Structure 1
Amino acid sequence: MSIPTKTRQYRYSELGSYDNLVLEEVPLPKLKGNEVLVKTHAVSLQYRDLLIATKQYPSEVLPNLVPCSDMAGEVIGVGEDVKQWKSGDRVCANFFLDKLNHVQTPETDGSALGGAVQGVLTEYRAFPAHSLVTIPPHLSYEEASTLPCAAVTAYNALLSGYTPLKGGDTVLIQGTGGVSIFALQFAVASGATVIAISSSDEKLKVVKDLGAAHVINYKTTPDWDKEALKLTGGVGVDRVIEVAGNATLGRSIGAVRLGGSIDIIGLVGGPNDTGPVDIVVPTIFRSLQIRGLYVGSVPQFHDMVKLITANPKTTRPVVDRVFPFEEAKDAFAYLTSQAHVGKIVIKL
């Protein structure tokens, strides 16, 4: 394949709505010695992308932003200093381009795709060689594009935290979005028991098929924390994957056992939901481990790929819908509807 000199990309003319996305053609910068040029085949969307579009994201983003952080593609060129990649390799870029270990710094935060640096909703993009990870061989590009944020976050929460998940543990998982579905799959692959909650009986049928042992509809059972206690014989779950934030944190605390853990990974309950939640007293007197985490590192991505490759059926990504590149705005609209289970993908 000849090396292109231009790329078509989406860019925000201004933030405020995904309707402000503009499709344009721009020149590609000359490839640096330590960079790899990748042809994008698929991009998956995150709730974060909506927050950024609507100016609700609690961190600064670049002006004239090219959105999105998660992609899968094919290497088509390498810089003169790159030894580990060659044309034809199938790769994903890590969410944080420069997070090469478990330590979070302002510098690693400043390498977040689709926010602090330009994103991946583009036909071609150069990446630092150290930021790339090989795609599991059994996954399509569409499936692999779902891994960098949602899957790595779920892996970090369950298998790279204070105490890694073990067989026999009980995990409560909220909702059926990307992180939640991957957390369910990784928990099942690890031999854990999963309790899943959702407001939709149809979505709960899907998670049952994916291996959830118990399901709770939180619309018909608003005291889902008490139901989780019943399902665990009054003990409580070992850990909670908390994706809603303050909207549900109180009930998550009520559902977890003494000495259990809550991984806070999202705020789909709303970025402005700051209602009072008593964290300090139960955390102290119930010896809880409450951990916030922000995606993960390149080594964690590599480790997760090993888990996915070893458990190809259990961990296959759930892709709800695939939109063509020219219909990217429709993909954002579908994400806004929250009708999906798993991931929404844009195919290039």
Structure 2
Amino acid sequence: MRDRNTAAVRAYRLEQGELVLRECEVPEPGRGQVLVDVRASSLNYRELMVQRGTYPLPVKDDLVPNADGAGVVVAVGPGVTEWAVGDRVAAAVFPLWQHGPFGHEFLPQLGGSLDGMLAERVVLEASGLVRVPDHLSFEEAATLPCAALTAWNALDGVRAGQTVVTRGSGSVSLFAVQFGKLSGARVIATSRGPAKASRLTALGADLVVTSEDWVEEVRAVGGADRVVDVVGALNDSVRALKVSGEVAAVGSLGGGWPPLDPALMFGSVATVRMVAIGSRAQFTAMNRAIAVAGLRPVVDRVFGFEEAAEAYRYYAKGDAFGKVVISMG
């Protein structure tokens, strides 16, 4: 690991869509803040949107990118009592969202309107941190803030014996398979090919549907209580539901949202809920469950800090099965 006990540390900045590595002075935490030695950061699709200028939420100029990250507290500012030097932590993407439903006042976010985690050391609000499970490496812990918490939120309220459907094999869907099994649900995963299907089965999926007509296959086995839709095909997801089922809408692969047919929703008394990651309280609860179960995230590949641009290019290809992580060493 590079010696960071110097007057300068390194951080990436986004300049016209390109990652540029710069040196800067070691930041100092102010009141209510902590200084975190970042050990790893992971990529989500939102990072590509930020880089390409298509992210729907505000993005600051001269941004330090990446919402996800985990590390060690190395200094605390005045008034901080919850954290101590040496604590292993991860940062909440929306640091102001402590609990309850999401609101406009919680919009400030890491790697967007706030500087993110692709730096050797960062100053963060103490109230926006959570403890990471002891059994996870920093590379594994860095996968949790966005994709894992989104999946956890998407499955909120799922009970043992219910049926959960996950779409595809992106990171949110992989976490949803794991959390679905953790809740005691029957998990049906959809996949376009047999190669990923076998890996989804190994991860815990009870049934993997590879045909284009996945809706009919799900309905043939009784329908779904919850569909985690990362594709944006909401009409299909509603059709796959049991009466009074729910679609947790996470995103849209194509960037657009086909019109949602109200008659379909009325016919099955369906609920469609938009999922915006999750609160700090949900993050804390998720980490407790991960620790108790000994659950481990799926990591596809780890890149070095100097290889961040290569990590972005690799992730953009869309071939990863699991999280792409950048390690600071």
TM-score, length basis structure 1: 0.90
Distance 1:103 1:230, change over 3 A: closer
Rounded to whole Å, the distance in 2 between the matches of 1:147 and 1:326 is 22
Rounded to whole Å, the distance in 1 between the matches of 2:154 and 2:7 is 40
Structure 1 equivalent of residue 327 of structure 2: 347
Structure 2 equivalent of residue 308 of structure 1: 290
Q: Write out per-residue CA displacement over residues 115-164 of structure 1, whole angstroms, 9 at most, x where no aligned residue.
A: 111111000001111111111010000000001111111111112xxxx1
8 Å contact from structure 2 (residues 235, 264) kept in 1 = no
Structure 1 equivalent of residue 187 of structure 2: 194
Structure 2 unaligned blocks of 5 or more: none
The 10-residue stretch of structure 1 (174-183 or 316-325) with the greater mean CA deviation from structure 2:
174-183
8 Å contact from structure 2 (residues 67, 111) kept in 1 = yes
Structure 2 counterparts to residues 140-179 of structure 1, below 5 A: 140-159=137-156, 164-179=157-172
Deviation at 1:3, TM superposition (A): 5.8
- Determine whether 1:28 maps to 2:26: yes
8 Å contact from structure 1 (residues 6, 26) kept in 2 = yes
**Match for residue 288 of structure 1 among 270, 273, 284:** 270
8 Å contact from structure 2 (residues 28, 123) kept in 1 = no
- Determine whether 1:119 maps to 2:116: yes
Distance 1:86 1:3, change over 3 A: farther
Structure 2 equivalent of residue 276 of structure 1: 259
Deviation at 1:180, TM superposition (A): 0.7
Deviation at 1:7, TM superposition (A): 2.2
Rounded to whole Å, the distance in 2 between the matches of 1:275 and 1:150 is 23
Structure 2 equivalent of residue 59 of structure 1: 57
Rounded to whole Å, the distance in 2 between the matches of 1:241 and 1:2 is 41
Rounded to whole Å, the distance in 2 between the matches of 1:4 and 1:97 is 28
Q: CA RMSD in A?
A: 1.4
Rounded to whole Å, the distance in 2 between the matches of 1:11 and 1:2 is 19
8 Å contact from structure 2 (residues 241, 268) kept in 1 = no
8 Å contact from structure 2 (residues 177, 205) kept in 1 = yes
Rounded to whole Å, the distance in 2 between the matches of 1:2 and 1:346 is 17
Rounded to whole Å, the distance in 1 between the matches of 2:164 and 2:258 is 25
8 Å contact from structure 1 (residues 102, 296) kept in 2 = no
State the one-letter code of the partner of 1:51. Answer: M
Rounded to whole Å, the distance in 2 between the matches of 1:33 and 1:275 is 46
Rounded to whole Å, the distance in 2 between the matches of 1:93 and 1:11 is 19
- Determine whether 1:252 maps to 2:254: no
**Match for residue 136 of structure 1 among 126, 133, 146:** 133
8 Å contact from structure 1 (residues 78, 85) kept in 2 = yes
Deviation at 1:103, TM superposition (A): 3.1
8 Å contact from structure 1 (residues 265, 293) kept in 2 = yes
State the one-letter code of the partner of 1:334. Answer: Y
Rounded to whole Å, the distance in 1 between the matches of 2:204 and 2:322 is 14
Rounded to whole Å, the distance in 2 between the matches of 1:266 and 1:168 is 26
Deviation at 1:2, TM superposition (A): 8.0
8 Å contact from structure 2 (residues 27, 121) kept in 1 = no
**Match for residue 82 of structure 1 among 68, 80, 83:** 80
Rounded to whole Å, the distance in 2 between the matches of 1:274 and 1:261 is 18
**Match for residue 229 of structure 1 among 212, 219, 235:** 219
State the one-letter code of the partner of 1:339. Answer: D
- Determine whether 1:203 maps to 2:191: no
Task: Give the aligned length.
Answer: 326
Task: Determine helix, strand or coil for the equivalent of 1:204.
Answer: helix
Distance 1:216 1:2, change over 3 A: closer
Q: Write out per-residue CA displacement over residues 42-70 of structure 1, whole angstroms, 9 at most, x where no aligned residue.
A: 00100111111111212221111111001
Structure 2 equivalent of residue 261 of structure 1: 246
Structure 2 counterparts to residues 36-75 of structure 1, below 5 A: 36-75=34-73
8 Å contact from structure 1 (residues 3, 76) kept in 2 = no
Task: Determine helix, strand or coil for the equivalent of 1:127.
Answer: strand
Task: Determine helix, strand or coil for the equivalent of 1:70.
Answer: coil
State the one-letter code of the partner of 1:97. Answer: P
Deviation at 1:4, TM superposition (A): 5.0
Structure 2 equivalent of residue 325 of structure 1: 305
Deviation at 1:231, TM superposition (A): 2.5
Task: Determine helix, strand or coil for the equivalent of 1:258.
Answer: strand
Structure 1 equivalent of residue 10 of structure 2: 8
Deviation at 1:206, TM superposition (A): 0.8
TM-score, length basis structure 2: 0.96
**Match for residue 243 of structure 1 among 230, 237, 242:** 230
